[in-house]
A and B are shown apart, each in its own frame.
Chain A
Amino acid sequence: MKTKPALAFAALSVLLAVALLLAVSIGAVAIPPLSVLSMAAQALGVHSFAVPDATTQVIITQLRLPRVMAAALVGCSLAVCGVVMQGLFRNPMASPEILGVSAGGSLGAVIAITAGLAGESQLLLPLFTIAGALVCTTLIYLLSSSRGTTSLLFIIIAGMAISALCGGITSGLLLFARQYEVTQYVFWTMGGLDGRTWQHVLLSAPVLLPGVLALALFSRELNIFSLGEEGAHSLGVHVESVKRLLLALSAIVTGVAISVSGPVGFVGLLVPHLLRMLVGPDHRKLVPASALGGGLFLVVCDLVGRIIAPPFEIRVGIITAVIGSPYLLSLVLRTQRRAAGVR
């Protein structure tokens, strides 16, 4: 099953480039990919190709490009955080949702919406989402740490409790909210990338890119965590600090990512799992592969959502869920069947 990693990386890069190009080209106004390429060439200082007209240029640079970039960034971040959580918890089913990021983010979002702040500025909703996610994660972290150690098992329990609490408050707030606010919130929870501007990209990228890079630097430690905390300690890993750092980074990166897109499910579960079959579990390969693969996956899902039922757009969270849920089921079934086979 495992292919040569170099081949996998080459394939992922090419596919990502093609997906980006197609995502910019395809839409209500069809733009030939060649025009997009010649524009790119011009941006790089090569003026020998004919560039499209001004309207097309605006569509490319102001509408599609920021959206596609946001999709790639968010997909990359969510997939990498998924890998990190799975490595840390030694469980291929783990995801940053354990840290209460989604529940806290949703609470932040509903506060912004019901307080009427979401309409004030495009950036307030994302900001509240990040704040909610981080407050929630911090709370879970503090609850599950004592005497300088953090119990991963207790994180799961505290995470469930705090997530349920956030969910309750969110529902409570929605009960008193106006109809359009409820609709706005429900829309947000579907996850979507429509109307994302350069502002979204430029504000989130300085957090997401360094965050993903920092997570990738701990690939070897993630490998060693698979031996258990005791084994990792025996090999000289600073278990507590690495654990804390990775949890904090994952929470921040996920929080910022879903502040851009809303809670897009399954990217962090599906992409790492697929790629683990392709490049193996070594995080030194899996993390970069997931970064590429996550970006590719979300760009493609967003594109599918845009073109599958014109003139409507299906929100990207719906597409990932529709692809992700059956896959998750098949994953569980296969694991069970294998476990049964072993016994």
Chain B
Amino acid sequence: MTGSTPVPGGLPASVPLVAADGLAWSVAGVRIIDSIDLAVGRGELVGVIGPNGAGKTTLLRLLSGALAPTEGAVRLGGRPLGEMSARERARKVAYMAQESMQALPFTAMEVLLMGRYPHLARFERESAADRQKARDALAAVGLPEIENRVIAELSGGERQLILFARALVQDTDVLLLDEPSSSLDIGHQDRIFSLTQEIARAGRTVIASVHNLSVAAEYCTRLLLLDRGTIAASGPAEAVLKPELLDRIYGVRTLVSPSSATGSLTVTVVPGRTGGRSARVHVIGGAGSAVNITRELYRMGCRLSGGVAHEYDSDEKLWRSLALTVESVGAFSRISDQDVARAARLVEEAELTILCSFPVGAGNLGNLKLAGRARRLVIASPGPGDVGRALLSSEAEELFRQLCAGATQLSYQEIVAMISQREGSAR
């Protein structure tokens, strides 16, 4: 699909392929799209993100010419869209709408060949080259074998791939995709976005509305965050996917962190507790023992603090990335009494302190002392697969015995169950 991307002569590289100035569209007095300025150049893969009703589809339809703007204008390669003939427009921009029903028994090949319509004269039949383009597109989306299958009998995902392939067959410089992967499995989703990435790199322009923010971050060169018809942010994923921005616009608590595997940003939603009081919990961990319980409690919406942690410990890294209040000391250094005193503040204000199960040596003996300051202490007893609690000195053993006297011992699951029960009744 990449070989046939001529860079049109006469168009300076500085002229954006798709541009909008002061674009607005209103229906029944409601401004669905409000003064949007946009310039997208060759090679860009722009992901339009935003909550439902933000105007993503409307923006794409305005850019495709399916809707005429109430104000402002769209220009393609410097030429106003409104001045183009339908045919000229169809040779420049292809629009893949969200799935539409197909009741007539057209085959995949027949549908794909429809994509050649703007390139054919009135009574011209599709040539072998047109058929080859259709076959290439089918192969590109990974469905070479369904050429003669009836569209209506394919699965929803396959139909979506066919619609995408149809847009490819149209062979335009600009591709507008409305939720191209909404009904696709992760394999096909990757396929579609890898293809669009390839298309953009070949010097075309792709603008796609994407619901999955992590997917948008992974593939798009630029994100456009829409909020009630206006651009709330535009730029690379790192600049747009800010929790404070997303939280406000989507109305949820989000967690943005780089994926440890690919390095691209992933956005997770933390089931929000709106209203109600959430538990204030302090977690004492080490050696990664607090990772699972922290995640669990964070998802439940607990207000968490952690420490004393050692820098670069996986507990510490997680707590930092969740932006929790953390007391920490340098890697492998001893937790001094001063450190304990600093952290005591967090422990004392917590309704509940959880002492995770981790080996206690000279360096982190302080954490047992810290646990002694808790208003209410729960000692986690390790299950199979958890980090074990080895008490490596007699002092540690003695301290632990004292702690046990005034604390409850529960497994991690029991701790979670206890807190969620409490949370439920508090609601």
A contacts, CB < 8 Å to B:
86-87, 90-92, 220, 223-224, 226-228, 230-231, 233-238, 276, 280-282, 342
Contact = CB atoms under 8 A, between A and B. Distances in A.
A269 to B, nearest CB: 14
Contacts of A226: 102, 104, 106, 111, 114
Given A90-B103, A230-B66, A280-B105, A236 B114 contact: no
Contact of A224 (B64, B94, B107, B117): B117
A142 to B, nearest CB: 21
A224 B66 contact: no
B104 A238 contact: no
Contact of A236 (B89, B97, B104): B89
Given A227-B111, A342-B153, A234 B90 contact: yes
Contacts of B102: 90, 226-227
Nearest to B87: A236
Given A223-B106, A228-B100, 19 more contacts: A92-B103, A92-B104, A224-B117, A226-B104, A226-B111, A227-B111, A227-B114, A227-B166, A230-B95, A230-B100, A234-B64, A235-B115, A235-B117, A236-B85, A236-B90, A236-B118, A237-B86, A280-B110, A281-B110
A86 B118 contact: no
Given A220-B117, A233-B65, A281-B105, A228 B97 contact: yes
B364 interface: no
Nearest to A1: B105
Contact of A223 (B89, B114, B170): B114
B86 A238 contact: yes
Contacts of B61: 230
24 contacts: A87-B104, A90-B103, A90-B104, A91-B103, A92-B104, A223-B110, A223-B114, A226-B106, A226-B111, A226-B114, A228-B97, A228-B100, A231-B95, A231-B166, A233-B66, A234-B64, A234-B93, A235-B115, A236-B90, A237-B117, A276-B104, A276-B105, A281-B104, A281-B110
Contacts of B117: 220, 224, 235-237
Contact of A90 (B91, B95, B101, B111): B101
A233 B89 CA distance: 10
Contacts of A238: 86
A234 B105 contact: no
A340 B8 CA distance: 51
A234 B104 contact: no
A281 B103 CA distance: 10
A220 B123 CA distance: 9
Contacts of A223: 106, 110, 114
Interface residues of B, number: 32
Contacts of B105: 276, 280-281
A333 B94 CA distance: 38
Nearest to B89: A236
Contact of B110 (A87, A233, A235, A282): A282
Given A91-B103, A226-B102, A280-B105, A234 B114 contact: no
Contacts of A91: 103
B114 A230 contact: no
Nearest to A148: B68
B91 A236 contact: yes
A235 B170 contact: yes
A238 B66 CA distance: 11
Interface of B: 61, 64-66, 85-91, 93-95, 97, 100-107, 110-111, 114-115, 117-118, 153, 166, 170
Contacts of A87: 104
Nearest to A282: B110
- Report, nearest first, the 10 A-B pairs whose CB atoms are least far apart: A236-B90, A228-B100, A234-B95, A236-B118, A236-B86, A281-B104, A236-B87, A230-B97, A235-B117, A226-B104
A231 B45 CA distance: 22
A171 B174 CA distance: 57
Given A92-B103, A276-B105, A342-B153, A224 B95 contact: no
A228 B87 CA distance: 17
Most-contacted residue by chain A among B87, B88, B105 (CB, 10 A): B105
Nearest to B116: A235
Nearest to B85: A236
Most-contacted residue by chain A among B85, B90, B94, B103 (CB, 10 A): B103
A245 to B, nearest CB: 15
B240 to A, nearest CB: 28
Contacts of B91: 236
A231 B103 contact: no
Contact of A235 (B85, B90, B103, B106): B90
A80 to B, nearest CB: 16
Most-contacted residue by chain A among B66, B86, B88 (CB, 10 A): B86
A342 B159 CA distance: 14
Nearest to A235: B117
Contact of B114 (A90, A92, A235, A280): A235
B97 to A, nearest CB: 5
Contacts of A276: 104-105
Contacts of B94: 234
A282 B107 CA distance: 10
B138 to A, nearest CB: 17
Given A235-B114, A342-B153, A281 B106 contact: yes
B369 to A, nearest CB: 64
Nearest to B106: A281
B70 to A, nearest CB: 12
Contacts of B106: 223, 226, 280-282
Nearest to A223: B114
Contacts of A281: 104-106, 110
A86 B61 CA distance: 26
Nearest to A226: B104
Contacts of A90: 101-104
Contacts of B166: 227, 231
A135 B204 CA distance: 50
Contacts of A86: 104
Contacts of A233: 64-66, 86
A227 B97 CA distance: 10
A66 B61 CA distance: 53
Contacts of B100: 227-228, 230-231
A231 B101 contact: no
